[in-house]
Amino acid sequence: MELILTNPDGNEMRELTGADIDVDLGDTNDFVVTVSARDWQGDVVKNCRIFRPGTEYGGLVGGIGTDTSEDAVLIKGYTWRGLLNKKIIEPPAGQDYRTVSGELHTIMKSLAEPEFPDLMRVSGEDTGVSVSSYQIPRYCTLLDGLGRLLASAGYRLKICYMQQEQGLPGYAELSAVPAVDYSDQIELSSDSRLDYTAEVTWNGVNHLICLGSGELKDRTVIHLYVQADGSIGKTQYYTGIDEVAEVYENTNAEAEDLEEGGRDRLEKLMGKQTFKMDVSSLGMEVDIGDIIGGRDYITGIYVKKPVTGKIWKYKDGEESLEYKIEGDET
């Protein structure tokens, strides 16, 4: 397994031999590289890059530390997705929303490249797909905004670190690719003869009381409810002992923004089915946004949803890749 270290300018310095790495994509969007103290060379500084060639696995170094119990040095940072998640898309002055139109890569280039000059580039290929007057949610992260934009066209975000000719710095390439439904081909289950975890949460929040601007009786209040099919509406479905309520506050939000933020919040709090499995030995790899299925014959849990997370690890010479898919509790 090849793991490359660059200087802050992106020029390759050396291979990190004997290192272990844990990369989280889709959840914390960060990485930890563990190097034994005897192999530590002291050349890792802020904004060095670490990457596995030809993949998304890697990111920008944001800190180092030591673990004396393991006699090791820890190198930590955000993945490329993590960096996108730390930038905010703001509406232009005097406008309610950032509205974009055009070919997908052209829009992506206008949003991402100014934030990460020399570090990220958008593919120059024409996707042949355009959107018109797409409204990006107010003050969302760049990662979320790109994901929503692409999903509206049936696409997903692909990231791959690209090496250049000797002496030239590499870069993380962003591109839009069609999201693929693999569920007919790939169903993670005990048939795969691999260990997995399956979980269904029935007691997730199903009634969110959104409190916006104003005071006391004049305060903006919106009630959002999870429906039987897992969608979110304004008619209450779960009542009595089945109702699970929570309050969401945004004191500066008027009704439209309050509802938008409330829906995002409720999607994270509502009941879900979760399926995780290490699939590295199956010789298959799909990406975040592609659709696969997961089935547990013991409990009857079945999920057919986009991949929401990947965890790639390399430890003691062994590679593992875990997928996470989430669906509504129904």
Both structure tokens of 132: 């018109």
Coil, strand, or helix at residue 114?
A: coil
Q: How far apart are the first and last CA of the chain?
A: 41
| Residue 320 identity (one-letter amino acid) | S
Supply the DSSP symbol for 144. Answer: H
Q: Is the CB of residue 222 less than 8 Å from the CB of residue 210? A: yes
Residue 213's CB is within 10 A of a number of other CB atoms, namely: 15
Whether the predicted pLDDT of 260 surpasses 60 = yes
CA distance 40 to 17: 10
| Residue 71 identity (one-letter amino acid) | D
Q: What pLDDT score was predicted for residue 191?
A: 56
Q: What pLDDT score was predicted for residue 80?
A: 98
Q: What pLDDT score was predicted for residue 149?
A: 97
Give the pLDDT mean for 33-52.
95
Give the pLDDT mean for 10-36.
94
Q: Is the CB of residue 209 less than 8 Å from the CB of residue 223? A: yes
Q: What pLDDT score was predicted for residue 120?
A: 97
Q: What pLDDT score was predicted for residue 330?
A: 45
- Strand bridging mode 245-249 / 207-211: parallel
Confidence of residue 282 (pLDDT cuts 50, 70, 90): low
Phi-psi region of 232 (alpha: psi -120 to 50; beta: other; left: phi over 0): beta
Geometric angle at alpha carbon 201, from 195 and 204, rounded to 5°? 150
Confidence of residue 223 (pLDDT cuts 50, 70, 90): very high
Residue 152: which residues within 8 A CB-CB, separation 6 or more? Answer: 131, 134
Q: What pLDDT score was predicted for residue 275?
A: 62
Whether the predicted pLDDT of 297 surpasses 90 = no
| Residue 264 identity (one-letter amino acid) | D
- pTM (predicted TM-score): 0.76
Whether the predicted pLDDT of 284 surpasses 80 = no
Confidence of residue 190 (pLDDT cuts 50, 70, 90): low
The residue with greater pLDDT, 138 or 169, is 169
Q: Is the CB of residue 172 less than 8 Å from the CB of residue 119? A: yes
Phi-psi region of 307 (alpha: psi -120 to 50; beta: other; left: phi over 0): beta
Q: What is the pLDDT of residues 144-168, one digit of tens each?
A: 999 999 999 999 999 999 998 877 8
The residue with greater pLDDT, 289 or 122, is 122
H-run or E-run covering 240: none
Whether the predicted pLDDT of 50 surpasses 60 = yes
Coil, strand, or helix at residue 137?
A: coil
Give the pLDDT mean for 223-247.
93
Q: What pLDDT score was predicted for residue 287?
A: 85
CA distance 97 to 189: 43
- For the chain, what is the radius of gyration of the CA atoms? 22
Q: What pLDDT score was predicted for residue 291?
A: 81
Confidence of residue 108 (pLDDT cuts 50, 70, 90): very high
Q: What pLDDT score was predicted for residue 238?
A: 93
Percent of the chain with pLDDT over 90: 64
Q: Which residue is listed with tokens 């390439």?
A: 173
In b/e form, how buried is each residue of 81-110, taking b as 16+ CB within 10 angstroms? bbbbbebebeeeeeeeebebeebbbebbbe
Residue 121's CB is within 10 A of a number of other CB atoms, namely: 17
Confidence of residue 294 (pLDDT cuts 50, 70, 90): low
Q: What pLDDT score was predicted for residue 203?
A: 86
Q: What pLDDT score was predicted for residue 135?
A: 94
Confidence of residue 85 (pLDDT cuts 50, 70, 90): very high
Q: Is the CB of residue 264 less than 8 Å from the CB of residue 208? A: no
User: Which stretch of 55-64, 86-95, 273-282 has the lowest confidence by average pLDDT?
Assistant: 273-282
